[in-house]
Amino acid sequence: MLVFKFGGASVKDAEGVRNLAHIIQGYQNNQLLVVISAMGKTTNSLEKLTKAYINGSEDIYAIYEEVKAYHFNIITQLFDKNHPVFDDIQNTFVEIDWILEDEPQDSYDFIYDQIVSVGELVSTRIVNAYLNYSGITSQWVDVRGYIHTDNTYREGAVQWDKTCTAIRRDIPPLLQKSIIITQGFLGGTSENFTTTLGREGSDYTASIFASCLQAESVTTWKDVPGILNADPKLFSDTKKFDELSYSEAIEMTYYGATVIHPKTIKPLQNAKIPLLVKPFTDPSASGTVIKEDGVNNFEKPVIIVKQNQVLLSVSAKDYSFITEDHLSDIFRIFAKSHTKINMMQTSALSFTVCIDDQAERFEPLLTVLNEYFRVRYNSNLKLLTVRHHKNNSLQELTNGKEVLLEQLSRNTAQMVVR
């Protein structure tokens, strides 16, 4: 039994959907579960729509119509004009229509999940319809009935026992009849509300299914030849890893490597299931294999760049030392605001962190911190993380940049730069 995951770039247009069908066609003799993300940059567009709705912006419907037009343009190129998929997609978008009819009442995170999740629901309906249209038997499955989470919207915590029980009960019989098409990134609560698993969480979805079903492997199809030592959009001289160990992959994703979601590896490691990262433009290419005994070859250091960072320093209002009691209070505030710390450093009088600049979380966090501490911060920064660094590589990366904070350990260097 195999699990495939296709990201948004692989289904960004009609040609991408056709290519996906071509790849799947070669695996029709396997039991195959396919996890699919929203098409292209749909998640970004639906995030923009969510903010416009919350803020009461005048361009709400312009944004929404653009999202719908993008999808209908794709299906117009894939299907005859009388195909029922046109009605299916229109009915799926109705979920957003219902939300936009009323004034926003719920929290931003709750509304975000109800709107943004429609991207995956639409993309999977289109792909499932096209597979059947082209002669490949597949069945659409609503992932929200199988991946059960708590009520932490935008960061749903998976309830593993309930999730695996549901998957093991229903999915194997379905796999014996057809290929399964389901959504990445989404989960469901006990009250039947939609949650999301964190940005780019479709990889995690694939690993959840694979772990519960004891799959032979997970293959995530990307727009890169495999896992590279750096982002090819930022660095011209990159090198692909043929293999990586689970532990190194976990380190890379923890520090922000975006090719794999941070939570993806652990379920696979626990079940000893290899993860293959392969290019959807060249399905026969070897890609990268992540496994327990993967060989790590670091001819070049691993470079991870996180954009749009904030460097925030917290100190006691009475200028006393930063103690364990202070740190306990600070961490509790960060946890309650669901703010992940990317780097931290403590001195006698201050505690400094580097975090993502997310206005909807940063501003409430700042309000609470200011009640108890003195707070200073700088924004529009970058966080550079270098695994298996060498002195010359660090100098090249920081040349011409102002380094605001730096940490060096045996294997990892981190620098906040402006």
pLDDT for res 216 = 98
Please tell me whether residues 172 and 310 are part of one structural domain: no
Q: Which domain holds residue 318?
A: 302-417
Annotated binding site: 5-8, 43, 120
Please tell me whether residues 36 and 133 are part of one structural domain: yes
The residue out of 222, 243, 278 marking a domain boundary is 222
pLDDT at 75 over 90: yes
The residue out of 204, 222, 240 marking a domain boundary is 222
Annotated binding site for ATP: 5-8
**How deeply is 173 buried, as exposed, middle or buried, from its count of CB atoms within 10 A (0-12, 13-18, 19+)?**
exposed
pLDDT for res 392 = 78
pLDDT for res 274 = 97
Please tell me whether residues 208 and 340 are part of one structural domain: no
The residue out of 222, 252, 287 marking a domain boundary is 222
Please tell me whether residues 94 and 211 are part of one structural domain: yes
* DSSP 8-class letter at 294: P
Number of domains in the chain: 2
CATH of the domain at 88: 3.40.1160.10
Please tell me whether residues 215 and 310 are part of one structural domain: no
pLDDT for res 111 = 97
Question: Is residue 96 included in any domain, yes or no?
Answer: yes
How much is the average pLDDT of 288-297? 90
pLDDT for res 359 = 86
pLDDT for res 386 = 96
Express each pLDDT in 193-223 by its tens digit: 999 998 888 999 999 999 999 999 999 999 9
**How deeply is 58 buried, as exposed, middle or buried, from its count of CB atoms within 10 A (0-12, 13-18, 19+)?**
exposed
CA distance 137 to 49: 34
Confidence class for position 180, pLDDT limits 50, 70, 90? very high
pLDDT for res 118 = 98
Please tell me whether residues 37 and 148 are part of one structural domain: yes
Please tell me whether residues 217 and 327 are part of one structural domain: no
Please tell me whether residues 191 and 84 are part of one structural domain: yes
Please tell me whether residues 38 and 166 are part of one structural domain: yes
Question: Is residue 204 included in any domain, yes or no?
Answer: yes
Question: Is residue 295 included in any domain, yes or no?
Answer: no
Question: Is residue 365 included in any domain, yes or no?
Answer: yes
Question: Is residue 260 included in any domain, yes or no?
Answer: no
Task: DSSP for 173-242, please give it.
Answer: HHHTTSEEEEESSEEE-TTS-EEE-STTTHHHHHHHHHHHHT-SEEEEEESSSS-BSS-TTT-SS--B-S
How much is the average pLDDT of 64-78? 98
Express each pLDDT in 108-166 by its tens digit: 999 999 999 999 999 999 999 999 999 999 999 999 999 999 999 999 999 999 999 99
Annotated binding site for substrate: 43, 120
pLDDT for res 261 = 85
Confidence class for position 391, pLDDT limits 50, 70, 90? confident
CATH of the domain at 398: 3.30.2130.10
Question: Is residue 270 included in any domain, yes or no?
Answer: no
Express each pLDDT in 223-275 by its tens digit: 999 999 999 989 988 999 999 999 999 999 889 888 888 899 999 999 999 99
Question: Is residue 269 included in any domain, yes or no?
Answer: no
Please tell me whether residues 73 and 213 are part of one structural domain: yes
Question: Is residue 241 included in any domain, yes or no?
Answer: no
Share of the chain above pLDDT 90, in %: 89
pLDDT for res 376 = 97
Please tell me whether residues 204 and 306 are part of one structural domain: no
Please tell me whether residues 212 and 359 are part of one structural domain: no
